[in-house]
Amino acid sequence: MAVRSAFIQTYLMKKVLLALLCGCIFTTTYAAPVDATDTTEATIKEKILADIQQGLAQKNHITDSTIARLNTKLSNVDSLIKNTANNKDKMDKLVERVKLIEDKQKAVEENELNVYEANYQSAIINLASMDREIQPLILFHSTKDFFETLNETASPESYDGFKQWFDGFKKYVAKNKKHDARLEAIDNILTLSGNVSVGASLYGTITQLFCSGMATYVGTIKQRHKAEREQAQKMYTLTMTLGQFNSDKDHIDHEWNDITRSLGDMQVYYDTVLQRNLQLLGCSNDDFNYHFVNEKDADKRYLYLSSLRQKAADLVASYKGKVPKEWKDDVYYQLVDVQTLKTKYGDITYRISEHIGLYDGLIKKYKSDKMIGPKVVLLRTKLDDLKSTFDQDYEPKEYKDAIVRMYKVM
């Protein structure tokens, strides 16, 4: 994996991040224990993370007390060594001092293990919970009413009189294509587009071609047919306006397409990181899906997360027992992967939040247009609802700030 390779290759950076990841405060979101029977997913996660923090705080209190007691004894022993003239007593105190230092080192190492266990527990809980964060974001991105209304606004078929007028234009093209190369090209494009959409071929690089042909068509309507000519001019103006509207919209939609791809890539990355950590914990994907992803009972999901939390702590302890000199490395890489994954998720939510604002500019530009303005004005309410829903369900800045404080720092 590129992220992991970069950390491995950059030794100095690894040491700096290692210091960060094994020690700062948990995010304040996790501070207060809550009722485990609450059915909201965020509350379940917060409860588990609060349990982890509370457990670490209790362990830290014990080790801190032990270290403080040993420091007091060391200070007393050092004073006795300094003031005694008896060589035997001094030697005995030196032996005692070595033992106290060893005991203090054990306490420091125990505290370090506690921090790494808590950090990996936090990583696992955050990782497991991300499945229920990603899926609603994908759903939000793909099914909101605003985008349906936006597409309707951009479609000429949704405007009264356009389909009838366009049918007349197509008949004119078919009748006169042999005498005009432009009309022959337009007829070919209309044939290729079939009946999928009347106006589907009116935009993009061929807009100018269609507008030129339509202008000729309007010009063939005699002045004495005033109503017909006014309607033709109106539909021609509508076509040109929608051509520009769609061009502006497409620039914004292109970014949405990129966000969609980013969501897909993140889903793949998430699945990879999740599967690797489940394997490390001795859990199968089927077991995870059955007991957590597809489980409707909040209490059962809470209990399953609690079991994952315990397995995470046991895994860290086993690493320390098997490879006492390098045990932190294996844990460190998992911590970095989860934090990187959550950062990617936070970046995407932030991009969506900023991108919603681009549609606000589109609405302001066209809301006063005589032809499409009324439909564009309706978009304002839809956009406000979309933004309100997003702001209520997602807090990109708070989420990204919390990522920085995911782990406890010694």
Which pLDDT tens digit goes with each residue over 106-131? 998 899 999 999 999 999 999 998 88
CA distance linking residue 146 with residue 379, whole number of Å: 7
DSSP 3-state assignment of 282?
coil
Let me know if residue 149 belongs to a domain: no
The whole-number pLDDT of residue 125 equals: 94
Are 116 and 262 members of one domain? yes
- What element of type H or E holds 23? strand 23-24
* pLDDT tens for each residue of 202-250: 666 667 788 888 888 888 887 667 888 888 889 889 988 988 898 899 8
Last residue of a domain, one of 213, 231, 246: 246
Alpha-carbon torsion (349, 354, 360, 362), positive or negative: negative
The whole-number pLDDT of residue 16 equals: 27
Q: Which residues have C-beta within 8 Å of that of residue 402, sequence separation ≥ 6?
A: 27, 29
Q: Give pTM, 2 decimals.
A: 0.71
**Which one is predicted more confidently, 224 or 269?**
269
* pLDDT tens for each residue of 333-389: 999 999 999 999 889 988 888 888 899 999 999 999 999 999 999 888 888 888 887
The whole-number pLDDT of residue 139 equals: 64
Are 242 and 257 members of one domain? no
In this structure, are residues 309 and 255 in contact, taking their beta carbons and an 8 Å threshold?
Answer: no
Let me know if residue 328 belongs to a domain: yes
Let me know if residue 270 belongs to a domain: yes
The whole-number pLDDT of residue 407 equals: 87
Let me know if residue 208 belongs to a domain: yes
Examine the pLDDT at 282 and tell me if it is beyond 90. yes
Alpha-carbon torsion (376, 378, 382, 383), positive or negative: positive
The whole-number pLDDT of residue 259 equals: 87
The whole-number pLDDT of residue 142 equals: 59
Q: Which residues have C-beta within 8 Å of that of residue 401, sequence separation ≥ 6?
A: 27
Let me know if residue 146 belongs to a domain: no
> What Rg, from alpha-carbon coordinates, does the chain have?
33
Q: How far is CA 276 from the centre of its chain?
A: 20
Let me know if residue 364 belongs to a domain: no
* pLDDT tens for each residue of 131-185: 878 877 776 665 567 888 888 898 888 899 988 888 888 889 899 988 888 888 8
Are 175 and 207 members of one domain? yes
Q: Which residues have C-beta within 8 Å of that of residue 348, sequence separation ≥ 6?
A: 137, 259, 262, 263, 266
**Closest of 206, 212, 201 to residue 236, by C-alpha:** 212
Last residue of a domain, one of 187, 222, 246: 246
Number of folded domains that form the chain: 2
Tabulate helix, strand, coil % of the chain (nearest 5). 85, 0, 15
Residue 201 pLDDT grade (very low, low, confident, very high; cuts 50, 70, 90): low
Are 265 and 207 members of one domain? no
Share of the chain above pLDDT 70, in %: 84
CA distance linking residue 152 with residue 146, whole number of Å: 10
The whole-number pLDDT of residue 143 equals: 57
Last residue of a domain, one of 210, 225, 246: 246
Examine the pLDDT at 26 and tell me if it is beyond 70. no
Domain that holds residue 242: 154-246
DSSP 3-state assignment of 291?
helix
Total length of the chain: 410
Residue 193 pLDDT grade (very low, low, confident, very high; cuts 50, 70, 90): low
Are 204 and 108 members of one domain? no
The whole-number pLDDT of residue 319 equals: 93
Residue 4 pLDDT grade (very low, low, confident, very high; cuts 50, 70, 90): very low
